[in-house]
Chain A
Amino acid sequence: MSLAELICPAGTPAALRTAVDAGADAVYCGFQDATNARNFPGLNFTPDELAEAVTYAHARGTKVLLALNTYPPAGKVDLWRHAADTGARLGVDAFIVADMGVADYIARMYPGVRLHLSVQAAASSPEAIRYYCENFSVKRVVLPRILTIPEIRQIRREIPCEIETFIFGNHGLMVEGRCSLTNYLTGQSTNMDGVCSPASDVEYVRDADGSMSSQLAGFTIDRFGPEEKAGYPTICKGRYAAPHRPEGYYAFEEPISLNLSRLLPELIEAGVHAFKIEGRQRSKSYVRGVVRAFRAAVDDIKAGREANIADLIALTEGQKQTQGAFETKKWR
């Protein structure tokens, strides 16, 4: 059986402590800059905060993974190198990287620290994953959310590193690490600036009938009726009117969250080493609830008991959930 480690999000030091106390095997976090893909206002860690967080987590047997999972623009790579230097000095247990240049720097400078390949690298074939393993000594790959469990099982047989899969949270399915939709409207890049739908460009407008419009950079990307559940203001989950669908429709993906709680036994059997919970931008309340639920479920499965999965629907985007491609390639 695989280790089935639980990898949990932490957007703030308090959230990190919450995740550790709720049973995380490892916590992932980032600095307050463009080096990670949750570069949101008021979120993330200063170096001093990360130092305290590492001490707190290690004292309780929990690992700390530092996300450096964005792509340095030309001329700005020093920011990523400095972040890696700081993380190594503070004793993080692994770096989560997407860019080959960042991976190469860490592999050369800090060969004793594990490298995990971020979902942002979009490595989905055994050949691609082996390339990262052979050239940068990557120890774990976080797989894109586009693969079925049989495909994951097959990949596992053909690669020399561990596999991590998302099991809960945001369900973004553009070619991960390559999405430029936010860039198109706001000028800021998800992949280089670390921000999808920057809050500074988001506005919610309440109409007289109680409907709410989500706007990004002045463009309306969805309008929710008075009783309708809402989602994040991301373009990939926007609802658009088109000549053939004048009533408006979700052209790419609905507001919905991934929830693989019922597939955990199959994922473990397929050889998945670690389960990732998305949501560094979420609250301590979310972290506490989701981590506790999956901690109990994983422990039940490891002990040979049937997992009693808690209801997490209230925490999902649009209050809807899916097993996505993990169940079938045609999930919509």
Chain B
Amino acid sequence: MIPTSEPTARLRPGEGAIARLACLVLQPVLTRVVRRVAARHPSLFARLGPHQATDFLIDPVELPFALHLRPDPQALVFRAVPRDTAPQVGATIRGRFLLLLELIDAEQDGDAAFFSRDLEISGDTEAVVRLRNALDDIDGSLAEEASAMFGTPGRTVLARLRRAYPDATKPREYA
């Protein structure tokens, strides 16, 4: 089971301020990344259909903030938000950070992560299914694409993030 992510359950003294600071620092990066992904992969919006206008909360349970996504090609929103000020959303996707990253990159199977209870979804299930299918139809790694935008520092951060997580969340080799 993944840890609880109730907003108030994980806030320790000072965490609120850290979350706000992290969100401020991250925001220019997230804005640049989402615009780049949207420009390079316009076909994903067709698979989202009516859920281009849905608000998603992507909640990496061990990080001090969550990510608010509205995949509207006319008004993209992708921002880090402290959990205690997270907006009301249509659907929430919750799990460990690297699992979420690997799901975005189709290195892990979403159904398998759901079966194992490592992934939790709530709200509009159709919106989540559409987002999953849209992302899964992208060739290559979005994480590597995003990290490459920031050159060597970006790639280094991604490599360190991947190394920082235990083997249990690494993609499995089946063959």
Using CB atoms and an 8 Å cutoff, list the residues of chain A in contact with chain B: 11-15, 17, 40-43, 198-200, 202-206, 210, 212, 224, 226-232, 255, 281-286, 288-290, 292-293, 295-296, 310-312, 314-319
**B136–A12 CB distance below 8 A:** yes
User: Pick the contact of B174 from A232, A292, A318 — CB < 8 Å?
Assistant: A292
User: Pick the contact of A13 from B4, B107, B137 — CB < 8 Å?
Assistant: B137
**A200–B107 CB distance below 8 A:** no
Q: Tally A-B pairs: CB < 8 A.
A: 125
**B109–A286 CB distance below 8 A:** yes
CB neighbours (8 Å) of A17 from chain B are 139
User: Pick the contact of A317 from B108, B115, B117 — CB < 8 Å?
Assistant: B115
How many Å lie between the Cα of A315 and that of B114 in the bound state?
A: 10
**B139–A283 CB distance below 8 A:** no
**B133–A42 CB distance below 8 A:** yes
**B136–A15 CB distance below 8 A:** yes
User: Pick the contact of B1 from A227, A232, A284, A293 — CB < 8 Å?
Assistant: A227
**A284–B136 CB distance below 8 A:** yes
Whole-angstrom distance between the Cβ of A315 and the nearest chain B Cβ? 5
B125-174 CB contacts (< 8 Å) to partner A: 125-126, 128-134, 136-139, 171-174
* A-B CB contact pairs (8 Å), 12 listed: A12-B137, A13-B137, A41-B126, A41-B129, A200-B126, A230-B114, A230-B117, A281-B111, A284-B106, A288-B174, A312-B174, A319-B116
**B48–A42 CB distance below 8 A:** yes
Using CB atoms and an 8 Å cutoff, list the residues of chain B in contact with chain A: 1, 4, 47-49, 51, 103, 106-112, 114-117, 120-123, 125-126, 128-134, 136-139, 171-175
How many Å lie between the Cα of A229 and that of B116 in the bound state?
A: 5
Given contacts A224-B117, A228-B117, contact A310 B111 (CB under 8 A): no
Whole-angstrom distance between the Cβ of A205 and the nearest chain B Cβ? 7
Q: Which residue of B lies closest to A297 (CB)?
A: B175
Q: Which residue of B lies closest to A228 (CB)?
A: B117
How many Å lie between the Cα of A215 and that of B53 in the bound state?
A: 24
**B125–A285 CB distance below 8 A:** no
**B175–A283 CB distance below 8 A:** no
CB neighbours (8 Å) of A310 from chain B are 174-175
User: Pick the contact of A315 from B112, B134, B136 — CB < 8 Å?
Assistant: B112
Q: Which residue of A lies closest to B3 (CB)?
A: A210
Given contacts A41-B126, A204-B122, contact A282 B109 (CB under 8 A): yes
CB neighbours (8 Å) of B112 from chain A are 285-286, 314-316
**B174–A283 CB distance below 8 A:** no
Q: Which residue of B lies closest to A46 (CB)?
A: B46
Q: Which residue of B lies closest to A211 (CB)?
A: B1
Whole-angstrom distance between the Cβ of B83 and the nearest chain A Cβ? 15
How many Å lie between the Cα of A231 and that of B171 in the bound state?
A: 21
How many Å lie between the Cα of A202 and that of B132 in the bound state?
A: 16
Given contacts A229-B115, A285-B171, A319-B116, contact A40 B139 (CB under 8 A): no
How many Å lie between the Cα of A148 and that of B74 in the bound state?
A: 55
**A226–B1 CB distance below 8 A:** yes
Q: Which residue of A lies closest to B108 (CB)?
A: A285
Whole-angstrom distance between the Cβ of B131 and the nearest chain A Cβ? 8
How many Å lie between the Cα of A224 and that of B120 in the bound state?
A: 12
CB neighbours (8 Å) of B1 from chain A are 210, 226-227
How many Å lie between the Cα of A232 and that of B4 in the bound state?
A: 22
**B120–A212 CB distance below 8 A:** yes
**A199–B116 CB distance below 8 A:** no
How many Å lie between the Cα of A310 and that of B173 in the bound state?
A: 9
Whole-angstrom distance between the Cβ of A19 and the nearest chain B Cβ? 13
Given contacts A41-B49, A210-B4, A293-B175, contact A12 B108 (CB under 8 A): no
How many Å lie between the Cα of A224 and that of B115 in the bound state?
A: 10
How many Å lie between the Cα of A203 and that of B121 in the bound state?
A: 9
How many Å lie between the Cα of A232 and that of B115 in the bound state?
A: 8
**A42–B130 CB distance below 8 A:** yes
**B116–A314 CB distance below 8 A:** yes
